[in-house]
């Protein structure tokens, strides 16, 4: 199979060759001929499969006919995050260099002015995150009634981030007779419903079992003890044991990204840090430095795990075992991309064995240990101790906010983010809450990304939706105060300490003697 029999134009074929792509990946081989013919595509594929080119190349071919008019773009690509949107823009730059197309990148965190200029000049391609696109629409800077091709990328991630109501609003103002290319790594019921609504007799193309790890990745486990300094030492020896071109080190918490980053720096490693508390400029600069090889190691939270295209990452190190098994697949998917060899190693402490079993169950395989499997008895004892510790903590003191001790409050915040009831969500609008309720409990979105990309978009979205939400409240919404999820509300209603009740004996005057 080669690119020459997929129906691409000679100009596009030339840029594919210049990009160094010899053989189409499975999603490209199957999706490109369908997309070039103008039919809808339902692509079930993860990042790393070459799916970006599977929609960019046919779009380029089809855009060769006609030109865009001011503020009336011809194609629209929706991406869940700024990073992904920027990556797709880069793919257009690389693969569209023989085409004189105007690409407008509409993402948050950057000024409107440049984006407006691009739109005024007439953009052939708009690549946008939903929130920023809606802002431009409301400011009258953009009309979508000339859209010929719509791409919805990473739809399941859009769902995780609460963007589905925005996507539905955007789709309502698009022409009915457009072509739609729809991509998702998984097909939960909400995504299936969305696809059924927006696609017309699509060709369904599935390239890999969802949540499967690429066979080019060597996966290994390494025993570690549950002590921060010793764990960091184990990480350093893991890094030193390998001939690393570049590596991403994943931590479960932003705080630990900072700790690991500083520790590696102190030990003389060439390292950068990437997590959702950094502003867009810092994130872009760090990613660019990592891509160019200026930085060899990147300590990261899951914000970097999903979707980011950093070609040729030779190693992934999991400093922590991820709580959600799907995150493991996304993390290790940063290496071994597009058929390359990759290596992923994970530090496992005795208390991580349950989470490890969940990962192995998802992968349907056992991962090998570099230095022999731990004694099962030992692991069981450690699990028991962890359970006991957990109970002890729960019986302990409580914080003012939610009745938990600070350490627990932190893990609570992270688990709430996953279950869709974070503090950031407290500012979300009613439509978001409705969307959240209709979602299953499984949450794989990166918490940092949610607070980053989502909160800004949601805040604006909240402001936009407020009048409508007030005018027609959802019946089930009435009992929950605006902006609060049911679980959040339930938690707040739980009495802290003795609640409002003050026992009579405590009201008696205290004797001074
Ligand atoms: P994606 O899944 O779109 O994020 O692509 C993953 C990586 O594979 C990107 O770095 C692409 O540049 C690269 N890639 C895409 N298609 C091909 C191909 N046919 N041959 C080699 N590399 C490719």
What helix, strand, coil percent values describe the chain, rounded to 5?
50, 15, 40
Any atom of ligand 1 within 6 Å of the Cβ of 208 = no
Whether residue 333 has its Cβ less than 6 Å from ligand 1: no
Closest residue CA from atom 16 of ligand 1: 50
Indicate the top mutation candidate among 25, 29, 43, 184 to test ligand 1's pocket, ranked by most ligand atoms within 8 A of CB. 25
Q: What pLDDT sits at residue 329?
A: 85
289, burial (CB in 10 Å: exposed 0-12, middle 13-18, buried 19+): middle
Q: What confidence score (pLDDT) does residue 74 get?
A: 95
Query: 279 and 297 in contact (C-beta within 8 Å)?
Result: no
Q: Which atom of ligand 1 is nearest to the CA of 49?
A: 2
Segments in the chain below pLDDT 50: 210, 386, 388-513
State the closest ligand 1 atom to the C-alpha of 21, by its place in the atom list counted from 1: 20
- For the Cβ of 337 lying below 6 angstroms from any atom of ligand 1, the answer is yes
Question: Quick one: fold of 3-206?
Answer: Rossmann fold (3.40.50)
Hey, how many other C-beta atoms are within 10 angstroms of the C-beta on 475?
7
Identical fold between 3-206 and 217-374: yes
Alpha carbon nearest to ligand 1 atom 19, residue: 24
Q: Do you know the residue count of the chain?
A: 513
Q: How far is the CA of 21 from the centre of ligand 1 (A)?
A: 8
> Ligand 1, atom 5: nearest CA belongs to which residue?
50
399-402: Cβ within 8 A, 24+ apart: 400/496, 402/491, 402/492, 402/496
Q: Which residue has the tokens 């013919």?
A: 37
CA of 58 from ligand 1 middle (Å) equals 15
Provide the pLDDT for residue 498: 34
Site to substitute for ligand 1 among 50, 216, 313, 336, most atoms within 8 A of C-beta: 50
Distance 85 CA to ligand 1 centre (A): 16
Asked whether 43 lines ligand 1 (CB < 6 A), one says no
- Token pair in block for residue 290: 């990592």
Ligand 1 center from residue 373 Cα (angstroms):
36
Instruction: Report the pLDDT value the prediction gives residue 364, as an integer from 0 to 100.
Output: 80
Spatial distance between the Cα atoms of 509 and 383, rounded to a whole number of angstroms:
48
Torsions phi, psi of 69, nearest 5?
-105, 160
Asked if 416 contacts 450 with a C-beta cutoff of 8 angstroms, the reply is no
Contact 51, 76 (CB under 8 A): no
In contact, 57 and 25? CB cutoff 8 Å? no
Tell me, in angstroms, the distance from the centre of ligand 1 to residue 317's CA: 22
| 21 pocket-lining for ligand 1 (C-beta < 6 Å) | yes
Atom from ligand 1 closest to the CA of residue 3: 19
Q: Which of 51, 52, 306 to mutate to test the pocket of ligand 1 (most atoms within 8 A of CB)?
A: 52
pLDDT at residue number 299: 95
Ligand 1 pocket, residue 49 CB under 6 Å: yes
Q: Where are the domains of the chain?
A: 3-206, 217-374, 378-432
- For residue 166 and ligand 1, the question of a CB distance below 6 A is answered with no
Architecture of domain 217-374: 3-Layer(aba) Sandwich (3.40)
Instruction: Determine if ligand 1 sits within 6 Å of the CB of residue 396.
Output: no
Q: Which helix (H) or strand (E) holds 271?
A: strand 271-274
CB of 180 sitting under 6 A from ligand 1:
no
For residue 338 and ligand 1, the question of a CB distance below 6 A is answered with: yes
Pocket lining: 311 vs ligand 1, CB cutoff 6 Å: yes
- Ligand 1 centroid vs 19 CA: distance in angstroms? 10
Contact 143, 74 (CB under 8 A): no
Sheet holding 125-128: strands in order across? Answer: 103-106, 125-128, 75-78, 149-152, 179-184, 41-44, 203-206
Upper half-sphere CA count for residue 58 (Cβ side, 13 Å): 30
């Amino acid at each position: 199979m080669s690119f020459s029999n997929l129906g691409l134009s000679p100009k596009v074929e030339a840029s594919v060759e210049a990009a160094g792509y010899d053989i189409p990946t499975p999603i490209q081989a199957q999706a490109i001929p369908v997309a070039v013919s103008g039919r809808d595509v339902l692509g079930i594929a993860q990042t790393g499969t070459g799916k970006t080119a599977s929609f960019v190349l046919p779009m380029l071919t089809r855009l060769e006919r006609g030109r865009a008019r001011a503020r009336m773009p011809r194609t629209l690509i929706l991406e869940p995050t700024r990073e992904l949107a920027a990556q797709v823009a880069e793919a257009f730059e690389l693969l569209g260099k023989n085409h004189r197309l105007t690409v407008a990148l509409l993402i948050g965190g950057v000024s409107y002015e440049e984006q407006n200029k691009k739109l005024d000049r007439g953009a052939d391609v708009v690549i946008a995150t939903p929130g920023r696109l809606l802002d431009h629409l409301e400011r009258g800077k953009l009309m979508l009634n000339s859209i010929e091709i719509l791409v919805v990328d990473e739809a399941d991630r859009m769902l995780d981030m609460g963007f589905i109501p925005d996507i539905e609003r955007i789709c309502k103002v698009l022409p009915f007779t457009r072509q739609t290319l729809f991509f998702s790594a998984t097909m939960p019921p909400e995504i299936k419903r969305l696809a059924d609504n927006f696609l017309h007799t699509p060709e369904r193309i599935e390239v890999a079992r969802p949540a499967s790890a690429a066979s080019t990745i060597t996966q290994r486990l390494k025993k570690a003890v549950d002590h921060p300094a010793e764990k960091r030492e184990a990480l350093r020896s893991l890094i030193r044991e390998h001939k690393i071109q570049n590596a991403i080190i994943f931590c479960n918490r932003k705080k630990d990204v900072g700790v690991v980053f500083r520790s590696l720096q102190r030990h003389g490693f060439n390292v950068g840090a990437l997590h959702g508390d950094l502003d867009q400029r810092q994130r872009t600069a760090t990613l660019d430095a990592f891509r160019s090889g200026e930085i060899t190691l990147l300590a990261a939270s899951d914000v970097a795990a999903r979707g980011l295209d950093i070609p040729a990452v030779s190693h992934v190190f999991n400093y922590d075992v991820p709580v959600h098994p799907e995150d493991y697949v996304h993390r290790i998917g940063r290496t071994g991309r597009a058929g390359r060899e990759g290596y992923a190693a994970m530090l496992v402490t005795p208390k991580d064995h349950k989470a490890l079993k969940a990962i192995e169950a998802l992968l349907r395989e056992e991962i090998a240990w570099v230095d022999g499997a731990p004694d099962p008895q030992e692991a069981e004892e450690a699990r028991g101790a962890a359970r006991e510790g957990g109970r002890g903590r729960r019986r302990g003191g409580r914080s003012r906010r939610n009745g938990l001790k600070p350490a627990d409050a932190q893990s609570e915040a992270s688990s709430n983010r996953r279950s869709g009831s974070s503090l950031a969500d407290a500012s979300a609008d009613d439509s978001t809450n409705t969307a959240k309720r209709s979602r299953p409990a499984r949450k794989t979105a990166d918490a940092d990304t949610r607070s980053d990309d989502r909160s800004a978009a949601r805040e604006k979205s909240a402001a936009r939706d407020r009048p409508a939400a007030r005018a027609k409240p959802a019946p089930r919404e009435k009992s929950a105060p605006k902006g609060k999820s049911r679980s959040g509300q339930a938690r707040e209603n739980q009495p802290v300490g003795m609640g409002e009740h003050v026992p009579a004996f405590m009201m008696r005057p205290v004797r001074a003697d």
